Amino acid sequence: MSAVAHIDDYKSGLHYSDEFRGEMSWNGYEANNLLRNEGCREGEVDQAGDSCTLRFSDVAHVLGADDLRDSRGVAVTDIDNDGDLDLAINHNTGYEPMTPQGPAALLRNDVGSSRGWLSLQLRGTTSNRDAIGAVVSLEAGGLRQTRQRTAGSGYASQQSGRLHFGLGDAPSVDRLTIRWPSGKEETFEDIPARSRIRITEGEGLEVLSAGH
């Protein structure tokens, strides 16, 4: 509040100095959140019919994914290739004389792989080789999911280059459409769940592993 009452102090940089904060925490020891998508509320589809009021619940603490350190960057990857997404988290040091906040965290997901999934690698030919910017839409189990291949997002972080889709109970992917950065569009059908595949622009689909 003093920053409102004493603007001259604020302008001096006082409020941003270690001396001002002293040994106080500023939002220290706070838990990360894993917000589980509960889907739409029943009967609440809007007039356009294509969206609705989403609802999320924070399950980080009760699943053990909450990490109390001063977290910064987050990278999502299926680090152990078991079919679900794990989390790598970087931190800051915290107030230095304190016990270090700095050790990195790798949170292994032990719940996701009970449901089906598809892991997709893209290789551009006309498009850039990494296929960064490619948009993939997938239909399975009555849901249409969309992901794009990125390199750099969140806070100073990079997510895995492999696109990961959860498939729920669906035994296979009905249809998968890729829009490559070159503008080319390709569609593939009937891909079994729990597969790792690679699609090369204009050259088709390779199954790297299937049915784990």
Give the helix/strand (H/E) hosting 49: none
Provide, rounded to whole angstroms, the least separation between the CB of residue 139 and other proteins: 10
Does residue 75 interact with other proteins by CB under 8 A?
A: yes
Residue 29 or 210: the one with the smaller Cβ distance to other proteins is 29
**175, 181, 188, 192: residue in contact with other proteins (rule CB under 8 A):** 181
Here the tokens at position 49 are 């019919």
Provide, rounded to whole angstroms, the least separation between the CB of residue 198 and other proteins: 10
**42, 43, 47, 98: residue in contact with other proteins (rule CB under 8 A):** 98
SS3 189: strand
Residue among 208, 165, 204, 173 nearest 189 (CA): 173
**61, 190, 202, 206: residue in contact with other proteins (rule CB under 8 A):** 61
Q: How many CB atoms lie within 10 A of CB 21?
A: 12
Burial class (CB in 10 A: 0-12, 13-18, 19+), 178: buried
Q: Which of residues 150-169 bind other proteins (CB under 8 A)?
A: 150-162, 164-168
Does residue 116 interact with other proteins by CB under 8 A?
A: yes
